[in-house]
Copies of this chain bind each other. A is one copy, B any other.
Amino acid sequence: MQTKVSSLTREVIISDTGPTILIGERINPTGKKKLQQELLAGNLDLVRQEAAQQVAAGADILDVNVGATGVDEVALLPQAILAVREVTDVPLCIDSGNPRALEAALKVYKGRALVNSVKAEESSLQDVLALVKEHNAAVIGLTMDEKGIPADAARRIQLAHRIVERAETMGLEREDIVIDCLNIPVAANTAAGATLVEAISAVKRELGVNMTLGASNVSFGLPERPLLNGVFLGIVINLGVNCPVVDVGKVRQYALAADALLGRDQYMRRFIQDFRIRQKAAQQQP
């Protein structure tokens, strides 16, 4: 199962046998006051800066989300897409809950985008999947509906089936659907991690789809978030999450470790290369 996304000049392939593809999470104003203010002012300098830094840190794809209160996403999302393209040619993940904003961004995007996201609710399925089909994109399907994120694994698995079935009915290929079983903080609900792990395993087994996950939510409210996020990343990569959305600078080493351990990094080349770069950087610090 290969999901292909691309820019004009670069293609990235998401699969269970290749390396884990890292989607950079940082172009997203949620919880980031400074970015919110800049976006409200229509200033995209910080977006460009975050884009360049994440690619330098090893991001394979960048998520681009400009959704903040007061922001006109329909106008700003395409501008953000173009701004990011000024500084990097990695493929983009176009992230909005607003189908019109997704449409506006898809119109200016060159290549094959990953659309983030469609939910398992009727209006979203209709609007977003039609757009994805029209623009020959790939899409992330969230296992949630009008009632929110189901607390149990069984219902999330059911919603994943619903998204895949509907997408296939509308003429999309299964390889163009990437399922996100939705991470929620374990500090708020001790069972959240185990439930998620169960859902991920079942979706991979039953549907065989490629999978993403916002890997940072799990540790919200706890200390040592990179450690928790990194260990969780290893666990979910082993279960089939092959394109997580992460803070690349903080957890890439854990993903590379998982790939090396699981036979997805021949001769451990990527792991050892990254180790050497980090070692050199540490030596150059005062």
Q: Residues on A close to B: CB < 8 A?
A: 186-187, 190-194, 197, 218, 222-224, 227-228, 230-232, 234-235, 238-239, 253-254, 257-258, 260-263, 266-268, 271-272, 275, 279
Q: Are A263 and B224 in contact (CB under 8 A)?
A: no
Smallest CB–CB gap between A266 and chain B, Å?
6
Contact sample, A vs B, 17 pairs, CB 8 Å cutoff:
A186-B261, A186-B263, A190-B263, A190-B267, A193-B261, A193-B263, A194-B263, A222-B260, A222-B272, A228-B261, A232-B234, A232-B261, A234-B234, A234-B235, A235-B235, A235-B262, A238-B239
Nearest to A224 among chain B residues (CB) is B275
Q: Are A253 and B227 in contact (CB under 8 A)?
A: yes
Q: Are A218 and B261 in contact (CB under 8 A)?
A: yes
Chain B residues whose C-beta falls within 8 Å of the C-beta of A192 in the assembled complex = 263
Q: Are A186 and B268 in contact (CB under 8 A)?
A: yes
Nearest to A189 among chain B residues (CB) is B263
Chain B residues whose C-beta falls within 8 Å of the C-beta of A238 in the assembled complex = 197, 235, 238-239
Chain B residues whose C-beta falls within 8 Å of the C-beta of A260 in the assembled complex = 186, 222, 228
Smallest CB–CB gap between A78 and chain B, Å?
38
A266 CA / B194 CA spacing, docked (Å): 13
